[in-house]
DNA sequence: AATATATAGTTCCATATGGAGCAAAGTTGG
DNA sequence: CCAACTTTGCTCCATATGGAACTATATATT
């Protein structure tokens, strides 16, 4: 038996395929990233946020990513130890720490993003350009609807 | 800032959306499943395999799911303790234990599958039938190509 | 101003998970 | 038949993760 047989039998064929592809597309890169860069998942999440926007604090990152605050806290602390981001006390609200990615952090971020990009290209290599365009449009429509899922 | 902004900036728009949807579609159900049924992820994996096919052993499940043997071993042991599967020594090869799902196990499995099914319906509720059909076809094409990804 | 409440970030703790290595059983090659 | 190797499933250990509680600071209420 192969996984592909279960693919045919599932009562949620699209959800199953989406989760299935995440497993085989994203997870190997995350594991390799740990080995090669010593960066773990919550650290990458923080790097991505800070690469996109300056001067966030940990709470912002919690809200953006819907991750628990202790996970973000650890990610921020370890990234600082590695010199991949800086922490500065907010002068107005001294509880807050303003976070910024460093040049090293940006470099690591970019290299990891490059791996995801290559993996995506491989994942889509069996599709025609029209199929790729349609897939993008449909996934985008669903993703933008996620905010409405709140039960 | 919202997650949706990062959605627009990523260099791997389709892979990002697939992973994003997995996070928001599958993960909440898995967490709720833990609370409501006391079933954790590797246990569900085993249940799904055994629901689909009888008389598998732990090694089969490792190969089907590409999970490490200790994870499967733990899943099998705890499911047996809960009465959701049975273990029988293989008379020919006494190292092997032949696994079968029980009626209780099938019931739990079916209830969990029902939740995934509902969540899928909600996830796809913003699509037209044509879009849903196209999405299914394209994801299926990619998923069946996964076997060729071996680097 | 004093007290109650809310928020930012951390630590503590319990648990999930994977890698490595193990014992027991089976297989292969002489 | 016996030694070397393979396979099955397990335990040990290190680490990732999330919930809850905690500290320090800020804000609201009286």
The model's confidence at residue A8, banded by pLDDT at 50, 70 and 90, is confident
Residue B88 is assigned to a structural domain of this protein: yes
Lowest average pLDDT, out of A56-60, A125-129, B22-26, goes to B22-26
Cross-strand bridge partners of residue A99: A56, A87
Residue B145 is assigned to a structural domain of this protein: no
Mean pLDDT of A124-146: 96
Whether residue A127 has pLDDT greater than 90 = yes
Residue A64 is assigned to a structural domain of this protein: yes
Residue B71 is assigned to a structural domain of this protein: yes
Residue A92 is assigned to a structural domain of this protein: yes
The mean pLDDT values, 10 residues at a time, for chain B of 151 residues are 78 95 90 90 96 95 94 97 96 96 97 95 97 98 86 57
Task: Quote the pLDDT of residue A5.
Answer: 76
CA distance A119 to B4: 22
Query: What are the pLDDT digits (tens) for A111-120?
Result: 999 999 999 9
Residue B53 maps to which CATH number? 1.10.10.10
Residue A72 is assigned to a structural domain of this protein: yes
Q: Which domain holds residue B38?
A: 3-119
Tell me the CA–C1' distance in angstroms for A100 and D23.
25
Task: Quote the pLDDT of residue B147.
Answer: 80
Task: Quote the pLDDT of residue B1.
Answer: 65
Helix or strand (DSSP H, E) at A99: strand A97-101
Contact A11 B116 (CB under 8 A): yes
The model's confidence at residue A24, banded by pLDDT at 50, 70 and 90, is confident
Residue B69 is assigned to a structural domain of this protein: yes
Nearest-5° angle of CA B57, CA B58, CA B60? 70
Tell me the CA–C1' distance in angstroms for A70 and C9.
8
Residue B126 is assigned to a structural domain of this protein: no
Give me the number of domains chain B comprises.
1
């Amino acid at each position: 038996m192969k996984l592909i047989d279960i693919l045919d039998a599932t009562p949620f064929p699209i959800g199953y395929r989406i989760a299935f592809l995440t497993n085989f597309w994203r997870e190997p890169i995350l594991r390799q990233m740990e080995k090669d860069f010593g960066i773990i998942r919550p650290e990458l999440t923080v790097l991505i946020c800070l690469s996109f926007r300056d001067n966030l604090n940990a709470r912002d990152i919690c809200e953006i990513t819907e991750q628990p605050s202790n996970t973000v806290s650890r990610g921020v602390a370890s990234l600082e130890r590695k010199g991949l981001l800086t922490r500065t006390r907010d002068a107005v609200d001294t509880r807050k720490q303003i976070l910024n990615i460093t040049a090293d952090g940006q470099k690591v971020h970019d290299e990891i993003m490059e791996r995801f990009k290559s993996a995506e290209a491989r994942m889509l290599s069996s599709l025609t350009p029209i199929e790729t365009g349609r897939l993008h449009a449909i996934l985008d429509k669903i993703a933008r609807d996620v905010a409405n899922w709140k039960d």
